[in-house]
Amino acid sequence: MYVNTLDPAIFHLGPLEVRWYGLVYVLGFLIAGWLLQKNRHLLQLSKDDVWDLLLYIILGIVIGARLFEIFWEPSYYLSDITRILKIWEGGMSFHGGFVGVVASVWYYCKKKKKNFWDVADLLSLPAIIALALGRIANFINGELVGRVWDGKWCVVFPNYDDICRHPSTLYAAAKRFIVAGWLYFLTKRKWNPGFIFWNFVFWEGLGRFVVDFYREDVLYSGLSLGQWMSAVMIIISLWIFWKKYKDDCRNLFK
């Protein structure tokens, strides 16, 4: 058993508090920016184009993730409007951020007349790494706790209750690092545009669906909202694989 007494703040500078959760977002954007700059010649982007795209990504993630979270917990956020702006405290919906970033990147690519799928493939690896780090930050924050369990590595989250639980956020982080390894493997070969992105969608959706069985959450017909939305991700990506990427799937281990 482990009692999670980790401090969500890295350090304080007077009234300014720097949190692990906020650092994760900064690292994720830096990794994405570095990869975009490194590969901008493949996408025919200038240095300024890369920073513009990164701004679109930041706005898409933050706005989408927060809007979905407000939708899930309106009473919490609308009772104190200032909570909406405190993204460093957590409460960012993965599915909302996913929808937001896809929409913002699609709009950017349409505006700049770039191939959306090429950009989406390139961003998939840094995205899954940032998401994995985000789940570690969730664990430090003591949020998104797991279901009750008395196993060897169960964790007590004092800010939630005094019951030992699954460290589900660490399971989610490990799952995403595994997916990152798979996506990295895919980057070593040439595929039809969009194939890496749809691998990201499928494996993230499948992993989230499985891991959420260990997460404390409100259930609807036996599944959480996150699992229902992940099921949609799985079904759509399988359909896309069947319709557009049959050859790529056959060539995976050739």
Residue 119's pLDDT band (cuts 50, 70, 90): very high
CB atoms within 10 A of CB 150: 9
Beta bridge pairs of residue 223 = 220
pLDDT in tens, 151-173: 999 999 998 999 999 999 999 99
Question: What is the reported pLDDT for 39?
Answer: 85
The mean per-residue pLDDT over the stretch 6-23 comes to 82
Q: Which of 89-103, 134-148, 149-163, 189-203 has the lowest mean pLDDT?
A: 89-103
SS (H, E, C) 161-220: CCCEECCHHHHHHHHHHHHHHHHHHHCCCCCCCCHHHHHHHHHHHHHHHHHHHHECCCEE
Backbone φ, ψ for residue 219 (5° rounding): -105, 145
Question: What is the reported pLDDT for 33?
Answer: 87
Residue 77's pLDDT band (cuts 50, 70, 90): low
Q: What is the mean pLDDT of the chain?
A: 89
% of residues, the chain, pLDDT over 70: 93
Whether the predicted pLDDT of 189 surpasses 60: yes
Contact 167, 148 (CB under 8 A): no
Whether the predicted pLDDT of 84 surpasses 60: yes
The mean per-residue pLDDT over the stretch 24-37 comes to 85
Whether the predicted pLDDT of 36 surpasses 90: no
pTM: 0.88
% of residues, the chain, pLDDT over 90: 57
E strand segments, the chain: 2-3, 9-13, 16-19, 155-156, 164-165, 219-220, 223-224
pLDDT in tens, 199-241: 999 999 999 999 999 999 999 999 998 999 999 999 999 999 9
Residue 5's pLDDT band (cuts 50, 70, 90): very high
Question: What is the reported pLDDT for 85?
Answer: 64
